[in-house]
Structure 1
Amino acid sequence: MTEVVAGWQREAPGTRPRVGFLGVGWIGRHRMQAIVETGAVDVAAIADPSAEMAAQAQQAAPDAALVSTLDELLDIGVDGVVIATPSALHAQQSIRALEAGAAVFCQKPLGRTEAEVRAVVSAARNANRLLGVDLSYRYTEGMRQIRELIRSGQLGRIYAVDLAFHNAYGPDKPWFYDPALSGGGCVMDLGVHMVDLALWALDYPGVSRVSGHLFAGGERLGPRPDRVEDYALATVELETAATLQLACSWRLQAGCDALISAAFYGTDGGAAFRNVNGSFYDFVAERYRATARETLSSPPDAWGGRAAGEWAMRLAGGEKFDPSADHLIDVARVLDRVYGR
């Protein structure tokens, strides 16, 4: 039995996939709410080391069991697991869930290195389970329109892409500053979004060369740094002869909360996606023709939970492993090369 609510087709309770949530801090609860609102799945269990966090999350799913660990969550019997834990745990927890037969939706980065990401994708393929990663900027209306312009050839041959993500605050949890736990600094935290966005928009061209310059506290870091960077510049040369330029940072004195942008320049025009007035959430997308500009999209755009919601709908639709997950390895490989790994 089904009903249609707010545009979603909702299955009757008992027929929907059962999903568990591992980690329900701010972002975990936000993604949980987005998934609940689809009506596509039932929340079977919530696991978080903080009893307070777990209790807050349970308000959105009163029938969910509260457990402490991933293994307890899996023992309850779930069809999918949503992971929002520290980065060092993502790969091993994703593999554990997949090997237990559950689909996975994981916060970025999926792994700290290409090897970790490759291992997760391999586990998903072997288990034939749906794998999703919260690379949420793909789901903004502006970037979807820009991608369509690029793929339809309306901008001509793309030869230059400028990417930037500057966060004036930086993370507030200590593990972000330990390279063994985080895998890296602002490139791993913020740059992953921009590299993914560019390769996704360009349909994943081959990468011929990558170079990176990393800084911490205004000092240049050497290859294979033993501390995380808070400012980075990188150049990614593509086999199409296009060049990507990336700049990202934590705590840059930029005069606003954040500077986020992705600009694509082609032989027949350009297009750019950028945040508005320093916002982390509001974006405008524009198309450029010489000195003229056209607005493609503007706020409001409730994009934050779309990646999670789409994963839940695909899970409810019975989808299994999607070979496009291999592109997660492409992004991780670029980051490895930025770090000199």
Structure 2
Amino acid sequence: MIRIGVIGLGWWGKQIVTCLAESPRFKVVAGCDVDHNMAAPFARQHGFDLVTDYEDLVRRGGLDAIAVVTPHLLHEEMAIAALAAGKQVFCEKPLALSTASAERILAASAKQGGVLGIGHERRYEPALEKVRLLLESGALGRVLHMDANVSHNNFRNMDPSNWRRDPRHAPAGAWTALGIHIGDLMVSLAGAPTRVAARTASQIFPAPSEDFVSADVDFADGARGRITCLSTPPFYARFTLIGDRGWVEVQEGGNVDKGLPSTFVHCKPDGTRESREYAPVNTVRMNFEAWADALEGRAPYRFTPDQLLANIRIFDGVVRSAAKNGEPVAL
């Protein structure tokens, strides 16, 4: 069993602890949060120790791994500190806020001989797994285009000073919350990205907070992608992959914590369509347990260092392109 500590016990940190509660592979033994009073009742409920300083947590004996679930600007500092202390690291998305930062984290992980875990649990959603399997079987042919819109209004009523709406922590609107998952998915299906053109806007939120981002991404093998995220409408999530022999589309019923089903449609070469609904599964636990398999040498982790870096290159390109009003950026 892997004994893990969690840095950051806000909404998503609590979600991770809850998702791991029934896992035979992990035991959450300690955690920390800057808001000790907020976190203390949750720590008591789940039976783990609470400390006030993340540095104390990463140096703690009896811990095999650390999950970094904090505001994005802190990921590099905390991940590298945990690695330097000899712990394995699982980092929430986005891995980093720049390509250079991601490279430093990945280099530190490689130096320690670790397997870097990443919070991209969407790859484990049953409908999206079906997309991957169909593509790998050749049923869809060559990938021509991918298109996604993932939007929600979870941050609309937050105080504008909240870090999730702060461009220092979350540049390019909802990309760090939503688009980063789709970037990972597209890299896993289409390979290395080569070019990005993106635009952002403050349509509803007062500047400098941005509530709209859309980006076009080119891939080395010729596939194209478009990702759009808005921060003000009710939840909407759709992913479409068009190949030269067919297409597939997945529509999500709600955010990952809502436990709602997804709808899947597959259009075959003759134009006939098959539809089905997929029930939700505990994708967070599935991702962590796949990471555990890699740590224990049972199986490779599906998120390779090259893929992790490619996704941050897309994000980095989105930020740089949007700052130039959509001017394309080579990756």
Q: Percent identity?
A: 25
Q: Deviations over 1:243-283 (max 9, x none)?
A: 1011111003xxxx211111001111111111137886432
| CA distances 1:159-204 after superposition (whole Å, capped 9, x unpaired) | 01111111133263611222223344212221111111111123x2
> Secondary structure at the residue paired with 2:20?
helix
Paired position in structure 2 for 1:6: none
Structure 2 counterpart of 1:30, one-letter code: Q
2:68 counterpart (78, 83, 90): 83
Cα distance in 2 for residues equivalent to 1:144 and 1:158: 16
Q: Supply the AA of the counterpart residue of 1:191.
A: G
Instruction: Give the deviation of 1:297 after TM superposition.
Output: 4.4
Aligned counterpart in structure 1 of residue 89 of structure 2, from 90, 100, 104: 104
| 1:190 aligned to which of 153, 178, 182 | 178
Distance in 2 (CA, whole Å) between partners of 1:102 and 1:329 is 21
Of residues 241, 246, 250, the one that matches 1:269 is: 246
Deviation, 1:36, is 3.3
- Equivalent position of 1:65 in the other structure: 49
Uncovered stretches (5+) of structure 2, i.e. residues with no partner = 322-331
- Whether the aligned pair in 1 keeps the contact of 2:172 and 2:213 (CA below 8 Å) is no
- CA drift of 1:319 comes to 8.0
Between 69-78 and 51-60, report the one with greater CA deviation. Answer: 51-60
Residue identity opposite 1:262 in structure 2: F
TM-aligned CA distance change 1:35 to 1:319, over 3 Å: farther
Q: How many residue pairs are counted as aligned between the two chains?
A: 313
1:235 aligns with 2:220: no
Q: Does the C-alpha gap of structure 1 residues 337 and 92 become closer, same or farther in structure 2, counting only changes over 3 Å?
A: same
Distance 1:201 1:100 in 2: 35
Aligned to 1:9: none
| Structure 2: distance between partners of 1:51 and 1:278 | 27
Contact 2:68/2:92, CA 8 A, preserved across alignment: yes
Alignment root-mean-square deviation, CA: 2.6
The letter for the 1-side match of 2:59 is D
Deviation at 1:30, TM superposition (A): 1.7
Cα distance in 2 between the residues matched to 1:330 and 1:104: 19
Residue identity in the other structure for 1:45: A
* Larger deviation, residues 291-300 vs 330-339: 291-300
Are residue 211 (structure 1) and residue 200 (structure 2) matched? no
Counterpart in the other structure of 1:305: 285
CA 110–298 in structure 1, closer or farther in 2 if over 3 Å, else same: same
- Structure 1 position 61, deviation (Å): 4.0
Aligned partners of 1:323, 1:284: CA distance in 2, in Å? 25
CA distance in 1 between partners of 2:227 and 2:26 (Å)? 38
- The answer as to whether partners of 2:155 and 2:165 remain within 8 angstroms in 1 is no
Preserved contact between residue 125 and residue 321 of structure 1 (Cα < 8 Å): no
Q: Does 1:135 align with 2:120?
A: yes
TM-score by length of 2: 0.86
Q: Please state how far the C-alpha of 1:145 moved relative to its aligned partner.
A: 1.1
Structure 1 residues 58 and 320 mapped into 2: Cα distance closer, same or farther (>3 Å)?
Answer: farther
- Name the CA shift for 1:180/1:26 in 2 (closer, same or farther; >3 Å): closer
SS at match of 2:230: strand
Give the letter for the 1:28 counterpart: G
Instruction: Determine if contact 2:211/2:232 at 8 Å carries over to the other structure.
Output: yes
- Deviation digits for residues 197-223 of structure 1 (CA, Å, limit 9, x no counterpart): 111123x2x32321111111269xxxx
3-state secondary structure, aligned to 2:178: helix
CA offsets 1:70-111 (integer angstroms, 9 cap, x no match): 111123222100111111111111111011111111111111
Structure 1 residues 57 and 48 mapped into 2: Cα distance closer, same or farther (>3 Å)?
same
Query: Which residue is equivalent to 2:135?
Result: 150
Contact 2:140 2:242 in 1 (8 A): yes
Q: Which residue of 2 aligns with 1:201?
A: 189
Post-superposition shift, 1:57? 3.1
Q: 2:164 aligns to what?
A: 176
* TM-score for the superposition, normalised by structure 1: 0.83
Could you tell which deviates more after superposition, 289-298 or 85-94? 289-298
Quote the Cα distance in structure 2 between the aligned partners of 1:141 and 1:93. 32
